[in-house]
Each structure stands twice: as structure tokens, then as C-alpha cells.
Structure 1
């Protein structure tokens, strides 16, 4: 990642590359850059960019408008900053490269610093980064919202810095600044209150009271409301000239929160801020067992003594405590009322009356109540304070959705660096070892605080152990939970309590999810695993999320924390569950592939016995593969290693073409390797897998290597193999032969393949064979015959080859000087390629369109298409497509008269062609090099 680019967002958009100020171009281009900069190092799809940048005037071309703007930004930004992935675009910014990131970093540091002088200095430094209105002059609804957000953020931080200055006694210095702020916005009560305090404590009482009068008049006249309780309270104190006196010591029941509390600065600040608000505050913290909810709640409560000076109460409701029944609301109220010195004879027996007395006792007091380890919302509701100055902080392993909380926080595991710091706090820096060893241990603990504490305690109490030895013990997954559990507690007992609190149907699904073959799961796969209706499976998954036994990192997809997954695997499985899951992935992959390619490429032995998603379009199939591809690959690995060999090779064959379509080269190779191992000993299966390897590998490994693999597939083919498989194999062999030598022998093999496809009654294979015939004639430079073959292929109606066939038709029409017709065919090919997500076909489409527009002398369009072809080709693993893209872009530049820029592209095409032995391309590139030579 480069660190040359710097961006200023907290004012007019400005950029630098090193010390050089950048000209960021037109307004819309700047808006696009600003949107990308607001989400640095994240991938944003082209469709989302259109929505965010052009919301005020959506273009008729949709997402097609994005690449030209991206291209212009790439030209002005440092190299490597703006990247294009398959899913969209990302602006890569180094840490601290934007003033917005520096602002947030300084604010966080100020919040964390207990020294008020240093904290105020850091907040002041952060505020100085604002140089005006954020993104001033840039249009669009999204930036308008962000502009308002950042402006409000600045005012909040400014108010915090002023509050620190008041606490530091800088009353006189603050008056001029606050006068300007109040004049700027007479309805902002917070600044008016701060000005009143600054005047009062400077001895200027009349001006303080005058400020209140003018602020109240503005609020009544403009909004029809009286000042809020905080401003009225300041006014009352000034009238009475009564600074708050020190209060007597009050009851503080907070437990010891331990010395080892690291990280969590951001969430700690969220909790503290939420309990600082005016009015009764109820904050709910939920999270999985052992994540540190109690430690966070107690640490936050300790920082709120000045906000709740009348007491901080704590009660463990024992919702998940070994050997304890949950404390009922009736029992909890009895304990809390006694804490407030209510005599036993005054405490009613009835729950409602007891709750009413509790609220009455809290009236007029400022008390914080910490309700730890709540079993559910029902146990908490009667304990809520009614007093406007009281706060309640609740922790639970469940999401307390039935609780009317003013703020909610889902606590996650520690960040890796904080997890390492916690381990070092427990064992001491000398025992923590190297950063790498500590990182390995906390990773094995899943960054879960409880697991880290147990692991750290084991290391601390065993002087002969090293951290490397501990890591080695934790490395065995089947022993890890035992290593992280003790007789008195630890990870497994904590998880067991959460599991045992579930109803039976949730317990069953939790157990079965331990058999997940992939990293995550969606509702159809879960339904297959548990043999349930899809809606019922989804409901149960959501209920496990509510219980914090399952994570939902994005809508509809669920996964375990690593240690919870290992715990689920220790529970009793159901033998048929995994078989149903393997069936699901086999048939769902086949249906997704059929949706993408228009027909099923590989036969399946029997109808699916599991419910599958609906694949109504190409987009449905592509979306499923994009979401589930990694899980399908993991399922193939599991199937192959566990002996489910037929499912392994059949699933591998179905997904391989999808990976090829998406340009996922490494996934494609692994699927083929696993399939080939699983097919060993089954001649027809081996032949099918080798056919797929030879066909899909042709573009990357070259025709010669492809042909060797295909001939091996032919040798494996049984005599009684079905005609469809034989036709496919002959077609692929003929095509590879033609790519080596487009002679009569290759055409004869393709004729045999066409005859076999006709006998099999398979129009899909016939269409593909005719497309191969078209390519062969095109390589022979016999473009009229090639065009006829392509048109016959198109007439067969197979959607799986339409984009490639239209590319071939476009090339032939170009060579026959029918440019307008070529543009029409290639535009249709582009639309199909985009719809099907086929980068390989789009490489050729863009390259041919570049040539077509060059023939029309429309240089801007020609160069844009040519460069898009090269970009896609560079991301692919196909040297053949790279050669075509480079040489056609070079020819466009040459035709335009830009010899200097054309020459490197001809040279690159030559280099690739020599390696591949592509004689026609060598001659073409050599001719281009000769024509661009300085001596020419």
C-alpha cells in the first residue's frame, strides 16, 4: 500500500502526492474520490458508487459510467492507490493518510487520556484539522449527509474540549470563544450553558443570567419550547449562587474489576457516554460467554461516580452461573431495597408493589444500578429505575430484545493487538515471548478474554513452560477446549451453561451446526443439515444469534466463533446430517451452474432430496457461487477426505466451470485436484475430470498441455460411455488441435464431434462444436467460413456459448470490413458477458470493440475499451487473452499515430507469444514492433 497520497476531507477536498498538490479535476470526479475516501480500503461496487455519487442525477448508462471516471482518477493519483477487484473499486490509503482518520485518532487519544491538560490539547489538535465545511462545493445526497455528520461531530468534540477547559478553570479565556459559538447558533443549548458557567465562574453573574434570558427567548419564539432540564438547572444554580457541595460517601457495591483490563477504549467510551445522557438511561451489553461483559460494565460504572453520586449498586442475577438458579425479579428487588436501607417490614410481598416501592425510593436520587448476568428481558424489566437521573447497566449472554433500552452494545472478542496485551498483563512481559508466539496463542484462544485468562493462568503457574509449549498444546483442536477449561470453570463449562439454557429445537440445531463443512452457513444449507423447513431453520438460526451462540456477520449468513464450533463438535451428532449437507452442496452447485451456463454441464445420479434455493437467472447463479464458493470447496475437501468420493468429484466438476467463469484460478485448480483424487479407480469419472481440466486449462496452460490432458481423458473413456460425454471430449480435443495447427485434421475431429453431438441429440454440444469450427477457420484467416460456422452455432440457441460466439462474429465482421455490424454484435456480447460475469469473454469483447472504434477513428472509445481489455487480461491467468489484448491496444495506438506508447504493448505481446509458441501472434507483434521502431 502506498503512503504517498494524502487527502484533506475536513474542508474543501484537497490531495497531495508527496509534496505535490494534486489537481483533482471536475466536481463529479472529486465527488467520486470523496466517496471512496470516506470508506478507505473497502471495496465499493460500481452500482453502489453510482447511487452514492450520481444520486442527484442518475445516468441512463448505470454502472457503465464508473470506469471512465476511475480511469481518470487513476491517471492523477499515485500508482497502486486506486484498485479494481472483481467486486468493485477500492481506494487504498495508508494509516494517517486522511485528515479525517487523524482527527478520529486524536479524539480517541483525548478520550482515553485521564490527564485533563493532555486530553484538552489532543482535542484541540483534532479540531484544528477542520479547514472549512467538509466537502464544500461537492454535490450529492450522500456527501450532504456526511457533511452534516462531520459538522455535528466537530461540534460535539468542541463541546467536550470546552468542558475540559471549564474543569481546568479557564473561565475567562473561554468567554470570547463561547460568545461567538452562541451567536452562531442561538438554539444550541449546550454552548449557551457552557457560556453561562464561564460568565458565572468569572464573576459576571448578570451576563450569565442575560445569556439564559436571550436563549430562552429564542427557543420559545422559534421552536415554541422551554429550555431543557440541564440549562434550567444551571440557571437555578446561578440564581441561588450555589456551587454543588461535596456529598457524603455513599454505597458502592461494584466488585473488584481486576488489574488486567486492556483495549475496549472505544466500547468503554460508548457505554460511559450513553450513561451520561439526560433522563433515565438503560444500557444493555450482550455477548457470548467469556467475552468480558462484566469487566466492561464494572469498569464503565467506576468512571461514572460523578454522574451518579448517590450510589452505584451491583447485583449478579446468576442467569448463567454454575450451581445457581437465576435470581428472580422478586428476590432482586428485595436485595436492592435493603441496599437502600429500606426496612424489611416495608418491603411488599407482591412483585408489582415491590417494583413500585423501588421506583419511589430512587426518585430524586442519582444512582447507577448494574444488573449483571441477566437471563432474559423479563427478569430485568421490574428492576428498571423510574427516576430521571438514574441509570441501569445490564449484561446478558442473550440479546435482550424485549428490553426498552436507550442504548445497546454487542460486545465482540478482543482485537488481536489487545488480546496480546491482555496475555502479557496476565503472564508478564518476560513470559509472553515473541509477538509471533503470543499472536499464535491468542488466535488459538479465538481472542476470547476468558480463554486468554485461562491460558495465561496455566502458563503463569507453570514456570517450566514456555509460550511456544503452550501454543503447541493448544494446537490440537480436539484437545483445545480441555486445555482452556479447569475444574472450577473455563471455556467449556461457560459454553455448556449457554447451551443448556436453550430449548430442545435450538439445542439440536446448535449440535448439528458443528458438522458444518464450510466457514459459514445460510438457511437452505442449515435446513438440509437439520432436515427442516427453510423458514423454520432460519428462525432457529436467528434465535441462536439472539443467544450469542452464533454470529451473523452479514444478513442471511451465520457462523460460529472458533471455540464455540469446537464445543458444538463435542456434542452428540446425527449420522445422516452430514450426508444431507453434502447432498445439498452437490445439487445446489449443479443448479447454480445450470443457471449460469443455460444447461447442466454434468449429469447427476438422482433427483435432489433436499430443498434448494431458486435460481431464476444468471445473476442468481453467480450470486450463489460468489457467496458459497469457499464453502463448496471446503465441502469437496471434506467429502474427499471422508470417503464420500462420488459426491466429491461430482461437486468439483459442477463448481469448476463456475470458478473459471469468475476467474478464480486457484480455487479452480484445487477443485480439479480434489476431484481427480476422488475419481481415481472410476474410469468414466476420471475421464470426466480430465476433460474438465483439459478444457478449462487451455486458456492458461496452452493448447499443447491441454491436448495431452484431453488425450489422457480419451484413453480413460470406457467403450460403453454415453455419446454426450464422447461428443464433448472429441470437441475439446479437436479445438486444442486446432489451436496448435488449424489444419484439416483438426477440422475432421470437430466434424466427428458434431456428428456425435447430433446422434446424442445434444444441441448444447453442437453449438460449442460449431463455435470451435468458427475459431479454427478464423485462425486460418478464412473469415467468411468462420462467420458461417459462428452463425450456425448461434442458431442452436445455447446461452452458454452466446457471448463467445458473438465475439467470434464480431471479429469476423471486422476482418470483412463490416464495422457497424461488428459493433452491434460485440455490444450484444458485452451485455451478455457482463450479465454472466464472464471476465474471459469480456477480455476479447473489449479488445475487439477497441479495434472497431479505432476503425471508426473514435479514439477515446477505442482506447478506453483497449485499456479495459488489458486490465482484465492482466487479472486473468490466460496468456492467450493477454496477447490479444496487448496487440490490439498497440494497433489502436499505432493507428492513432502514438508510436511511443504502442511499442511496449507490441513488445509484451511478442514476449508472451514466444513463450506460447503462437506463430501468428509472433508475426503480428513483430510487424508492429518494426512499424514502431525509432528507425522506421
Structure 2
């Protein structure tokens, strides 16, 4: 689609290019079909005075009363444009520097920015005394704020009028909707801030061009009910010519032709639309357009307009939704994450925030806690929905169902609901426009499920949680991603001790929930037990919470006995069953596992055999018996869904409980022979990789005597040069140590000896033999 808004509507309908405020007040050349809306500068909205009024919907312009103001240099115009697109919201100094200079930031950028700001203040407030505080362009802790009074910016008025039009449409006031749409669209004079360029301006220009053409489509739909169909055909042909891939415009043109008694031309319009879609995109028209074609072909009488426009219905009542779930009463830790989230909100960079992490890590708990902490900043209400992306039912919620729930929260009645998902999405965003609302979208499966639920107007914040990284949401919608990690050890101890009633952060006497005297004098023993429970839970909040529940519901069970119970469990995951699926670690993990592709699921199971602590995609390829080019996307899928964590770039790890789950799955689904062959391939991978790296570091020593050929499908890593070989050994020496132990325990004595020899040779060369190898040398 062409993002330049100048051809978005035919001349004389919705454009006011080149008109001054005085021209607009007289009606100007843009008044559609004899109708005239009051000018928002001079005739309708804002009273005249000394305030500066701004126009960004076209070339940047500013007016004081009826006088056009000179804007100065290109850089000052860009600075003003960026501030206006954040009107009444702070913009950080770093953001402004990036917008003004991009990748060519001068050495004294901060001083130059301050100079531009001083010049801009003097221009905005010519009567302001010397260095007195500015009431228009102010500095705050979060950045610079340009204060624009209500009605002082055409973009703000455009959004208000579009919202007014949509609310009137929902209420059945089609004439009011048409008037408001025309008033909004007549504000446009060309592309946003035409002639200026910066990363933000370029992005916003495209976004607003899309919003404008969407408003034009809605306006045409309303006018089609109100007006002469034949009068609309010429305009729709013009729009289709300039936006040939927008099926909604093609549908409107077909409908206008059919209602004008031109059935054959309507069918020809469909054939033209289909040809264009096939030629440009190689796709057939979507189902709604094809259905409309079939109805026109059958001369469906229901497509003809009603004799009279419907009477206005009552407007939906104004309500303030408050849907946030109950938070955790004794929330523990996460201060670093909360500080980062607060900073993002204070800097006004947030439109959507994505909290992502492995199953059970506490994403929802953090999201709800933060949402309740900041809810006072969103006085118009808070919405919440569990999207069931990873759920025992296996059926994620459709966006249409979530939107319907939100519309119900706004008390929109059934007879006020428009037909179709897209229209209801537009209504939902219209209801959000001009409001400050918080929307929590919990447990999302993918970006496609979330996109229709994001607010379209500033002032609202969406908080999304998902086990998936939702990379598409970050890349396309500009969402801010936050990885929620395991709790630090001290926070994990605090969670366990505070909720279980163990005193003094784990060095406890257990008196809060245990009989008098039973825990006294055992601070050291109970403190060690707390540490053992934290380690056994792998610092995973879900596992810790289940352990807490066990302690609280068994008040006579000492904390040391709970540690012994975990230690003595037949399988590591057995103790982590809280009695229902949401508190059963196996079940929670299974909701992620079953959404993996079959190849990725197999790799995950087999990775349970890896001795740790981490691995590369190359090692995963040999373990799974796959070419590296096939293994890389599978490892990426596991990382994207947080079944693996990427500790450092290119090195991945399994959480201890996920490793136990992978081992259980492999025991159940893979044969014993397949598991042994997998381990054999893995040991061959490390042994032959170590041999190749060792020959580079110590060419005079032949470590290859007795080295058997690697199994088929093993691809050893091949460092080039001494630096790469040394780097490889440094990264892998703990893995080699663990692999040697696993080989000795699993009946691969030759691998154990040769891995130990290769590792010892490197560590001796580095001077670390005694520290690193002694524990396994016996």
C-alpha cells in the first residue's frame, strides 16, 4: 500500500491541502458535497489567543492567531516535530539526539540539543523573561515535554473526531458519524511532517497514513448508508486505483455499484480485484470478498440498503473496568525487574511490554503485581484476559473472543455491536482512544493472537506475558521485551522462608508453624535445609511455591524433613505436584512441550542426556544425529519457547527441572538403544572436538592413539588456529569434565579416559590441572 496520504482520498472529499486556517473557516475547496465543518483553529475548537497552534498532518506549520510562524532551520523543525508527536509526554534526551543526528552524533550533541531547546523556547514564548521557567517547553526527570493545550494540535483533533465518529456509529447516529469522520479527514494536507526525516517521523508517517486510510474506509461505509450510491462510485474507483491491494475498498466499490443497479460492473470490479491480488501477491481474495461476490452474483436482495437509516440508539454507558486478578499477598523480590519496568513507564516509551520466560518462572505473578502497583496511572480502567496460549485445554482463545469480553466490560449491548471481527476490533480501539487504560494480556501463544488486542492510541499500556519470546511483536509493533529469569538465591530463600513462616530468612527456628521448641537451636541445620530446598527447586518460583504449600499445610513437618523428603523422592519431579494441573510442574511443562514441532520435541527429549552445564547448537546436532544446518532452527525454536535458556550468545542450557522432565519423556518415548546411541554420539562429539583442538595447541603430543572413528552423524567442531582452539577449550572445559564423568558412569570407559586426558592436557598447559582435574582423577 502506498503510505503517502496525499492520494488517499479523491480531491474535494477529505483533503484540505494548502488551505490556511482562514480558508478552512470559510469552508475552503475541501468541503464535501456542500457540507462544512467548523475549522478547529479559527471557527470551532480553540479560542484565539497567544498560544501557538500546530499542524503536523502535512508539512509542519505553526500559527499564532491567524499568523503563520516561521519555523527556522531543518534541524529545529525536526526537533519540534518529534516533540509534537509526543505532545504533553516526556521525550528523553537520548531519544531526541538519536532523532536529530542518527548514527552521526557530534561530540557536543548534548550542548547542541540544549542550544536548540533554548532557541525553541524563545520562539514559542517570545515574552518569557530571561532564564525563567518555561510553561510550554519544560525539562523533567524523564525528558523534555512540549505542552500543547487542548485543540492546539491537528493530530489530537483528528484522533478525537475519529473517536467521536466511531462512538456515533455504534450508537446508530450515522449522520453524526459522517460529520465527525469528514471533520477529521479534512485536517489532512499531505504526509505527516512532509519534508522532514528521522527514524520516528518515518515510522509515525507510515502508521498515521494507515490510520487515515482506515478512517476513510469507515467514512465511506457510513456515507454509503446515508448517500446516493452512484455519487460514491467515482470516489471509490479513485481510492481503489491508489490502494489496489485493500480488499475493503474493493468490497465497497462492488457494493456501491450493485446498489446503483450496475450488477455487471460490480462483478467486473471483483474480477479486477482478484487479478490484482494474484499478480501482485499471488493470493486469492479472502473469504469475505469472495462471499460478497457470490451474493452479488445471486442478486441477493439483502445487499440493498434499507429504506430509511436506523434511528440513533442510546450510547453505551461510560464504565470503568477493573478486571485485574488478585495479586500475591507476600510478593517477594523482582526489584530489578520492577525498577526497569517503572523506568520504561516513566520515560513514556511503553505501548506494549512483553514479559517472557520459562514455564513457572513467575511471569503472571510479576505482571499482576506491577499492574496493581501502577494502576493509579490508568484511571480509566484495567482490562485482563487469560489468552490460554499454554493451557491444559490445548485451545488458545481466539482474538475475537477476547475482544468480545472487553466490549462486555465496557457494557456495549448486543444490538450496538457491529458485524465482523475487524469492526469490533475498531470499536474496541475507539473505546480506548482518549482514555488511559491498562490491558493485561496473560499467557499468549504467539504474536498473531496479541496484535488485534493492542490499543491503537497513546495513553494506554498493554502488558503481555508468554512463554514464547514474541519476537514478531517486538520487531513489528515495537513492544519492549523483558526476560523474566529465575529468582536470585537470596530472593528464593526469602520466598520460601517468608511464606512458610520460617524465621529470619532461612536461618530459622520454625516456630511460626511448628510446635514450641521443635525448631529452636537448630538455626544452622534449618538454614542448610532451606538452601537445599532452594537448590532442589532450581530457584523456580512455581516449584518453590509448591514446596511452601507443603510446609504450610503440614505444620508439624520440620523444614529439615521437607528437605529430606525432596532429596529422597523416587523421581525429581514427584514432589512438585500441588494437587491440580496449575500447580503440577510436570503438567505445566507439558503445555509447552506439546506445542513444539515433532523434531524440536525429539531434540528436547534427547538433550536430557546432556551432562551440562551448557552446550552449543553444534553439540546438539551431533547428539540428535542431525546436520548442523538442520539442528540450528530446532535449538532456536526451543530457545524461543523458553524450553532452553541462552546463557551467553551461542551457548544454551536446560533448567534442572526441565532436564528431569526431558529425561522422563525420553525414558517413556525413546528406546534404550536410541538413548545409548545418542549418548555415544555426544561423547564422540566432545572427544573428537577436543582432539582436534588439542592437536592445534600442542602439536608435538599425539592425543589420537587409540581414538576410534566417530559414529555416523557426528559433526565435531573444528577450531582454526591457536586462539580459536584455546577459546573452545576455555568454553567447554566444564562440559568435558561432566562428559568424562557421565562416560565413566554409563559404561564408556575409553571415552572417560580419553576425555580426561584431553582435558588434563589443556588444563596443565593453562596451569589449572590441580584445581580442575583432581576431583575426577581417581
Q: TM-score, normalised by structure 1?
A: 0.47
- Which deviates further from its counterpart, 323-332 or 344-353? 344-353
Match of 2:578 in 1: 486
Match of 2:486 in 1: 413
| C-alpha distance 324-527 of structure 1, shift in aligned 2 (>3 A) | closer
| C-alpha distance 639-284 of structure 1, shift in aligned 2 (>3 A) | same
Match of 1:163 in 2: none
Structure 2 contact 694–725 (Cα < 8 Å) conserved: yes
How many residues matched? 468
| C-alpha distance 213-294 of structure 1, shift in aligned 2 (>3 A) | closer
What SS does structure 2 have at the residue aligned with 1:631? Answer: helix
Higher RCO (CA 8 Å, separation ≥ 6 residues): 2
Q: Is residue 232 from structure 1 mapped to residue 148 from structure 2 by the alignment? A: yes
Deviations 1:792-830 (A, max 9, x none): xxxxxxxxxxxxxxxxxxxxxxxxxxxxxxxxxxxxxxx
In 2: Cα distance, 1:545 partner to 1:437 partner: 32
Structure 2 contact 356–468 (Cα < 8 Å) conserved: yes
Q: Is residue 549 from structure 1 mapped to residue 643 from structure 2 by the alignment? A: yes
| C-alpha distance 278-616 of structure 1, shift in aligned 2 (>3 A) | closer
Q: CA deviation at 1:342?
A: 1.8
Q: CA deviation at 1:260?
A: 1.8
Q: Equivalent of 2:450, from 380, 402, 416?
A: 380
Q: Larger radius of gyration, structure 1 or 2?
A: 1
In 2: Cα distance, 1:612 partner to 1:314 partner: 50
What SS does structure 1 have at the residue aligned with 2:377? Answer: coil
Structure 1 contact 594–601 (Cα < 8 Å) conserved: yes
Q: Is residue 620 from structure 1 mapped to residue 724 from structure 2 by the alignment? A: yes
Larger fraction in helix: 1
What SS does structure 2 have at the residue aligned with 1:486? Answer: coil
Q: Equivalent of 2:469, from 399, 402, 416?
A: 399
| C-alpha distance 251-666 of structure 1, shift in aligned 2 (>3 A) | same
Deviations 1:541-577 (A, max 9, x none): 1211110110111111110111111111111243211
Q: CA deviation at 1:647?
A: 1.6
Structure 1 contact 602–653 (Cα < 8 Å) conserved: no
Q: For residues 58-207 of structure 1, what are the structure 2 equivalents within 5 Å?
A: 185=114
Match of 2:357 in 1: 287
In 2: Cα distance, 1:477 partner to 1:595 partner: 46
What SS does structure 2 have at the residue aligned with 1:496? Answer: helix
Q: Is residue 471 from structure 1 mapped to residue 573 from structure 2 by the alignment? A: no
Q: Is residue 661 from structure 1 mapped to residue 765 from structure 2 by the alignment? A: yes
Unaligned runs of 5+ in 1: 1-155, 160-180, 197-204, 219-226, 238-247, 675-936
| C-alpha distance 297-233 of structure 1, shift in aligned 2 (>3 A) | farther
Deviations 1:846-905 (A, max 9, x none): xxxxxxxxxxxxxxxxxxxxxxxxxxxxxxxxxxxxxxxxxxxxxxxxxxxxxxxxxxxx
In 2: Cα distance, 1:188 partner to 1:413 partner: 44
Structure 2 contact 136–146 (Cα < 8 Å) conserved: no
Structure 1 contact 595–620 (Cα < 8 Å) conserved: no
Match of 1:640 in 2: 744
Q: CA deviation at 1:269?
A: 2.4
In 1: Cα distance, 2:391 partner to 2:732 partner: 38
| C-alpha distance 215-521 of structure 1, shift in aligned 2 (>3 A) | closer
Q: Equivalent of 1:597, from 677, 685, 698?
A: 698
In 2: Cα distance, 1:472 partner to 1:346 partner: 62
Q: CA deviation at 1:208?
A: 12
Q: Is residue 585 from structure 1 mapped to residue 664 from structure 2 by the alignment? A: no
In 2: Cα distance, 1:319 partner to 1:213 partner: 48
In 2: Cα distance, 1:635 partner to 1:472 partner: 28
In 2: Cα distance, 1:671 partner to 1:279 partner: 51
Structure 1 contact 276–307 (Cα < 8 Å) conserved: no
Q: For residues 204-603 of structure 1, what are the structure 2 equivalents within 5 Å?
A: 211-212=133-134, 215=137, 231-233=147-149, 250-278=320-348, 281-323=351-393, 325-403=395-473, 404-430=477-503, 433=508, 434=523, 435-476=527-568, 478-488=570-580, 489-572=583-666, 573=670, 574-575=674-675, 576-598=677-699, 600-603=702-705
In 1: Cα distance, 2:340 partner to 2:769 partner: 44
Structure 1 contact 517–631 (Cα < 8 Å) conserved: yes
Q: For residues 679-698 of structure 1, what are the structure 2 equivalents within 5 Å?
A: none
| C-alpha distance 606-642 of structure 1, shift in aligned 2 (>3 A) | closer
In 2: Cα distance, 1:229 partner to 1:330 partner: 38
Deviations 1:134-159 (A, max 9, x none): xxxxxxxxxxxxxxxxxxxxxx9x99
In 2: Cα distance, 1:469 partner to 1:293 partner: 30
In 1: Cα distance, 2:566 partner to 2:423 partner: 53
What SS does structure 2 have at the residue aligned with 1:393? Answer: strand
Structure 1 contact 209–235 (Cα < 8 Å) conserved: no
In 1: Cα distance, 2:425 partner to 2:775 partner: 63
In 2: Cα distance, 1:506 partner to 1:298 partner: 32
Q: CA deviation at 1:234?
A: 9.8
Match of 2:75 in 1: none
Structure 1 contact 583–608 (Cα < 8 Å) conserved: yes
Structure 2 contact 607–662 (Cα < 8 Å) conserved: yes
What SS does structure 1 have at the residue aligned with 2:147? Answer: helix
Structure 1 contact 278–388 (Cα < 8 Å) conserved: no
Structure 1 contact 517–638 (Cα < 8 Å) conserved: yes
Q: For residues 521-920 of structure 1, what are the structure 2 equivalents within 5 Å?
A: 521-572=615-666, 573=670, 574-575=674-675, 576-598=677-699, 600-609=702-711, 610-666=714-770, 669-670=773-774, 673=777
Q: CA deviation at 1:186?
A: 6.5
What SS does structure 1 have at the residue aligned with 2:720? Answer: coil
Q: CA deviation at 1:275?
A: 3.2
Q: CA deviation at 1:608?
A: 2.7
| C-alpha distance 207-303 of structure 1, shift in aligned 2 (>3 A) | farther
| C-alpha distance 475-405 of structure 1, shift in aligned 2 (>3 A) | farther
| C-alpha distance 495-349 of structure 1, shift in aligned 2 (>3 A) | farther
In 1: Cα distance, 2:493 partner to 2:727 partner: 38
Match of 2:16 in 1: none
What SS does structure 2 have at the residue aligned with 1:661? Answer: helix
Q: CA deviation at 1:376?
A: 0.8
Q: CA deviation at 1:611?
A: 1.0
In 1: Cα distance, 2:149 partner to 2:562 partner: 58
In 2: Cα distance, 1:313 partner to 1:375 partner: 18
| C-alpha distance 209-358 of structure 1, shift in aligned 2 (>3 A) | farther
Deviations 1:403-436 (A, max 9, x none): 0243210001111111111112211134953433
| C-alpha distance 655-211 of structure 1, shift in aligned 2 (>3 A) | closer
Unaligned runs of 5+ in 2: 1-89, 94-109, 154-317, 509-522
What SS does structure 1 have at the residue aligned with 2:449? Answer: coil
Deviations 1:379-407 (A, max 9, x none): 00011101111111100011010102432
What SS does structure 2 have at the residue aligned with 1:364? Answer: coil
In 1: Cα distance, 2:690 partner to 2:111 partner: 64
| C-alpha distance 518-297 of structure 1, shift in aligned 2 (>3 A) | closer
What SS does structure 2 have at the residue aligned with 1:314? Answer: strand
Structure 2 contact 690–758 (Cα < 8 Å) conserved: yes
| C-alpha distance 347-186 of structure 1, shift in aligned 2 (>3 A) | farther
What SS does structure 2 have at the residue aligned with 1:414? Answer: coil
What SS does structure 1 have at the residue aligned with 2:643? Answer: coil
Structure 1 contact 524–613 (Cα < 8 Å) conserved: yes
| C-alpha distance 643-305 of structure 1, shift in aligned 2 (>3 A) | closer
Q: TM-score, normalised by structure 2?
A: 0.56
